[in-house]
Amino acid sequence: MTRPTPDRATADSDVESLVGAVLTASRVLVAVSAESLAAVQDTVTVTQFRTLVVLQSRGAISQKWLADELAVAPSSAVRMIDRLEAAGLVRRHVRPGDRREVQLVLTAEGARLVDDVTARRRAAIARIVTRMPPGSRTELVAALNEFAAAAGEPKAPGGVTTTGW
C-alpha cells in the first residue's frame, strides 16, 4: 500500500474542502430555485422549467436535440413538450427545408414565465451576495465562472447569464 505524498494529501484535502463548500452552496441554490418556482408550480415542473430555459437560451431546436440536452428518452421529451404546448408555453413547427424535423420554440407566454421566475431568482441571489464582503464577491465571480467552464456550461453572450436555470 502506497502512502500519499504530502503534496498529494494537501491536494486531496483541498478538493474535499472545496467539494464540501460547493455542496453547501448548492443546497442554498436549490432552495432559491425552489422558492423562485413556487409561484408557477401549478404550471410547470422543475424539469419543464429547465426545458423552457434551454429553449430560451438556444432558440429553435429539434425534439431529438432537446432530449439529448436534457438526457431524457425521446418519448419522455415528447410527452413533456405535449404538456408545455397544451399550456401555451411551447410551439412546434416544421423546420423549413426539412419537413421531417419538428422544431420547438418558446412562445411569448413561455418567455414571460422564464423571465418572471428568473427575476425572482436573481432578487433572492442578490439579497445573499450583497451580504458578502466586496472582495469575496469578486473572487466568487471568478471561481464560479471557472466552475461552470469546467462543467462544460456554455458562457452566455457578453459573459452575463440571463437565463433562469
Q: How many domains does the chain have?
A: 1
Which has the higher per-residue pLDDT, 144 or 161?
144
CA pair distance 20, 148, nearest whole angstrom: 17
pLDDT per residue as tens digits for the range 20-35:
999 999 999 999 999 9
State the CATH number of the domain containing residue 118: 1.10.10.10
- Can you give the residue range of the structural domain that contains 51? 18-150
Q: Given this model, what pLDDT does residue 82 score?
A: 95
Amino acid letter for position 79: R
With a threshold of 0.85, does the pTM exceed it? no
As a residue count, the chain comes to 165
- Measured in degrees and rounded to the nearest 5, phi and psi for residue 31 equal -65, -45
Q: Is 68 helix (H, G, I), strand (E, B) or coil?
A: helix
The residues, any chain, with a CB within 8 Å of residue 81's CB and separated by 6 or more, are: 51, 63, 66, 90, 92, 104
CA pair distance 84, 2, nearest whole angstrom: 55
Q: Is 108 part of any domain?
A: yes
pLDDT band at 2, cuts 50/70/90?
low
Please count the other Cβ atoms lying within 10 Å of the Cβ belonging to residue 113. 24
Amino acid letter for position 31: A
CA pair distance 30, 83, nearest whole angstrom: 24
Here the cell at position 135 is 472582495
Identify which of 80, 86, 41, 87 has the alpha carbon closest to the alpha carbon of residue 63: 80
Q: Is 165 part of any domain?
A: no
Q: Is 23 part of any domain?
A: yes
- Which neighbouring-strand residues pair with 62? 103
Q: Is 88 part of any domain?
A: yes
